[in-house]
Chain A
Amino acid sequence: MNLRFIDWIWHVRDSLALPAGQSSEDAFDRLDPLFRQTGTTYQRTNDTLTFRKKDQPAQDKMSVFDVGALRIDKTAAGSVLRYDLSSRALLFCFLASPLFFGIGQMTVLISQFEKPKPQVEKKQADIPMNPIDKFLGAPEPDHSKKDKTDGDKKLSPKAAYIFSGIFAVLYVVGRILEDRLMKARFEKTLAEWSH
């Protein structure tokens, strides 16, 4: 299977034009601090930079990405930075949604094997309310209902489905946000260049 049809899920690819007159070396010099981070190793050639990150700190500006390549192409209109960044975090977030959906389904399956527990009737009516609570005006314990403490603790898939939805939303947000943040950071870093 050609992964390129689906690898947009965890790859961020884009390009941006370098400021006029900026050489490949100048551009990579500007970007250099982004890769001088704990857990990051990188290699530079004339027009390509490849990096790899392991256990990157939370505040690393590129912590979402684990592997990537940046290449500078010279075109008639000027130089262009093209990059391809790969993120395990994006893939994980994408997969977390079906994972929690699966946990929800599993919960339904397990609860089908649960024997219905008998409703336990506890006589709470003969328990006097403490005089201090009476004095302070706390509501009387509800004696009319059965105490369902043993009978109502059924397994429910609801939480799993909610988390499945949360991760689906988080994925969409992250895929758009991290893409834009990275591009803005590259643009800002390169634009700070002066002749």
Chain B
Amino acid sequence: MDGQRVGNRLIGTQAPVIVGWENIPKVEGGPMKQFVFTWFQPVMLFALIAFWYYAPNSIAKASTAVMIGIGFKLLLLALEWVNPRYASWRLTWKELVTDLFYVGLGFTLLRIVSHYIGSDAVAKAIQDYFHRDPFPWFIGLPLLLQGFLIAFIFDFGQYWMHRGMHNWYPLWLPHSVHHYITQLNVNKGAVGNPVELFLIGLGIGGFFDFLPRAALIAGAFGLAIGTYQHINVRFNSPRWWRFLFNTTEHHSLHHSQDFESTRSNYAGAFIFIDRLFGTCIDGEAELLGLEGGRRMSIREQMSHPFTEGWKALKARFDRPVAVSAE
């Protein structure tokens, strides 16, 4: 494959990818369908932000956010049936069971681990040690700015953590499992080795003091933007949306079978971070996964980082020692 030059990189030499927005397929169907799948994303984002901004204190709480999150995911699942991006990404019973197993781990075991050694617990321990309060000036900022900054600071950290995972082998080992997914569905963001899922969830939010309502607004950014990374729905996202925010198009390229394409589009929600640091590629891929799209079993997903790490260590330390020929 010849590939295409993007900046100083050659993209798509190992597997087919689409580069450039003008080459990406559009939503097919009547004007109503076109309208819905063009404006769905912005309307949902602004509706969610407006909801959390104006909701009375009695309902502006975490439990409401959890219910909205579940409802939104169910709605997106329905949209996957109505307007799939690729037939080869269709959700099957087996894929759903696999995905929900990881979603379940995220809600249970990972939550227990994060409770004790997650970023908030660590931040609190550090603050207690230095007898410092979280940054109190933050709480005086306008709510929307607080919400955006919480989301942005988390995403900025996640960008570098994610980029580190693709550039440093010890971090790549746990993250590599997530790159064995061969299709994008609404729950695929949860699929990966639990060690990675813990690492990617780390942030520095614990160091800030913010109004609970601001955290809910930040969550709306994550839900109404970040969720589209892994989803099988075709949208005609507006130009400004795909310039600022991460999309399925960007993230499918990040998951493609082409190695060079996977080294792009690291941000979770705000793709402009990638644009700032020169790692953004606008495009799309259908064929996903490592090793030519080999689907990994859950058992291997659990053990892969450790077995591969062990192999790497053995290879490093078992090297035959050069002996002089005397």
Contact = CB atoms under 8 A, between A and B. Distances in A.
A139 B57 CA distance: 7
A170 B100 contact: yes
A173 B141 contact: no
Contacts, number: 104
Contact of B143 (A64, A88, A138, A160): A138
B123 to A, nearest CB: 12
A67 to B, nearest CB: 14
Contact of B182 (A58, A127, A160, A173): A58
B183 interface: yes
A44 B119 CA distance: 56
Contact of A174 (B97, B104, B111, B293): B97
Contacts of A141: 57, 211, 213
B142 A174 contact: no
A91 B140 CA distance: 54
Contacts of A159: 104, 107-108, 111
Nearest to A163: B104
Nearest to B109: A103
A139 B94 contact: no
A59 interface: yes
A28 interface: no
B65 interface: no
A17 interface: no
B195 to A, nearest CB: 18
Contacts of A142: 57
Nearest to A56: B295
B45 interface: no
Interface stretch (A3-11, A71-79, A92-100, A185-193): A92-100
Interface string B84-114: 0001101011111110110110011101100
A22 interface: no
Q: Which size bracket describes the interface of B in this complex? A: 35 or more
Nearest to A164: B104
Interface string B275-298: 000000000000000000111111
9 contacts: A39-B294, A57-B182, A59-B87, A59-B88, A63-B94, A92-B298, A163-B108, A170-B96, A170-B100
Contacts of A16: none
Contacts of B126: none
Contacts of A33: none
Interface of A: 39, 55-59, 63-64, 88-89, 92-93, 96, 100, 103-104, 107, 110, 127-128, 130, 132-133, 136-139, 141-142, 149-150, 153, 155, 159-160, 163, 166-167, 170, 173-174, 177-178
B54 A139 contact: yes
Contact of A173 (B93, B183, B212, B293): B93
A146 to B, nearest CB: 12
Contacts of A55: 294-297
Contacts of B183: 58
Contacts of B142: 130, 132-133
A113 to B, nearest CB: 11
Contact of B104 (A100, A128, A132, A133): A100
A58 B140 contact: no
A160 B108 contact: yes
Contact of B97 (A89, A104, A130, A133): A89
Contact of A163 (B95, B107, B115): B107
Contacts of A88: 297
A139 B56 contact: yes
B262 to A, nearest CB: 19
A114 to B, nearest CB: 9
Contacts of A167: 97, 100-101, 104
